[in-house]
């Protein structure tokens, strides 16, 4: 009987340990840092498909969007952040909130369907944003652009979704060089970052977007392959993003893998481990 009692106590203690560990992990993920895996090429070449990073949730304070969502389609699990922290939704404010800076790379919740996106913050409340012939204008002034050669990658399936990249020199065959023109863009506050060009398209020629108070305007660095604030939400775009939908700031790539699975070590990109983001 004594042995049986010890066995039961050991099981109970193990369960307690697991529950406490999960609780602390949940608190850490909710309050401090959230892991994020780059699924698409909209932020190339700043972020590549397969980059893994932690998002700093302390950067802008906390709102309902700070709570994690849990979606596992094959298990029928769909727990949204609003299901847990919905009591904080609706006022477009944040607890211990601080304003983001132009040029920050930010993970945010899509204003309509709640999916997590990562883009670069371009427009602040009250700004007038426009694209003219592929050049970004902020408050009627063109940003500074410097040509910076060619970004080259292999035309092949990338990441878990196995999407193929778009090429400025396309169409090209499987395994061939896929090229995009690269420029360095300097924002009004001095933030410099790479942007890529693929083709001339409608998102290179827009009307003027006036950013409402309490909202922000985001664009991907891979300018011709990004559904962002240049596109209305009804057309699958992002539109203007409320302050409360910001999740956190991305500062550094922790790990990177070019393959379908993280553990395919032969596809790892060691040169991107712990890489600071501009």
Q: How far apart are CA 115 and CA 133, in angstroms?
A: 30
Whether the Cβ atoms of residue 139 and residue 231 lie closer than 8 Å to each other: no
The residue among 64, 215, 40, 211 whose CA lies nearest residue 117 is 40
Q: What number of other Cβ atoms are within 10 A of residue 156's Cβ?
A: 13
Which distant-in-sequence residues (6+ apart) come within 8 Å of 181 by Cβ?
147, 150, 151, 168, 196, 197
Count Cα atoms within 13 angstroms, Cβ side, for 9.
6
Whether the Cβ atoms of residue 31 and residue 57 lie closer than 8 Å to each other: yes
Strands of 192-197's sheet, edge to edge? 144-154, 177-186, 192-197
Residues identified as active-site: 42, 119
């Amino acid at each position: 009987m004594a042995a049986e009692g010890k066995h039961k106590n050991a099981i109970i203690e193990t369960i307690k340990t697991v529950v406490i560990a999960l609780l602390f992990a949940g608190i850490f993920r909710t309050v401090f840092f959230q892991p994020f895996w780059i699924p698409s090429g909209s932020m190339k070449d700043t972020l590549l498909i397969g980059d893994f990073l932690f998002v700093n949730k302390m950067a802008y304070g906390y709102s309902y969007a700070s709570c994690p969502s849990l979606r596992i389609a094959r298990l029928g699990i769909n727990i949204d952040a609003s299901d847990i922290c919905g009591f904080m939704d609706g006022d477009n404010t944040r607890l211990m909130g601080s304003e983001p800076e132009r040029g920050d790379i930010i993970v945010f919740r899509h204003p309509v369907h709640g999916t997590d996106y990562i883009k670069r913050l371009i427009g602040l409340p009250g700004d007038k944003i426009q694209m003219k012939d592929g050049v970004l204008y902020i408050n009627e002034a063109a940003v500074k652009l410097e040509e910076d050669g060619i970004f080259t990658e292999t035309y092949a399936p990338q990441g878990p979704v196995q999407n193929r990249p778009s090429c400025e020199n396309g169409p090209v065959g499987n395994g061939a060089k896929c090229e995009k023109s690269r420029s360095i863009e300097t924002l009004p506050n001095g933030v410099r970052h790479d942007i890529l060009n693929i083709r001339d398209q409608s998102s290179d020629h827009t009307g003027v977007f006036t950013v409402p108070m309490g909202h922000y305007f985001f664009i991907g660095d891979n300018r011709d392959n990004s559904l962002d604030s240049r596109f209305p939400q009804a057309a699958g775009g992002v539109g203007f993003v409320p302050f409360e939908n910001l999740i956190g700031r991305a500062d550094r790539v922790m790990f990177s893998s070019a393959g379908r699975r993280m553990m395919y070590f032969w596809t790892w990109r060691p040169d991107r481990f712990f890489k600071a983001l501009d």
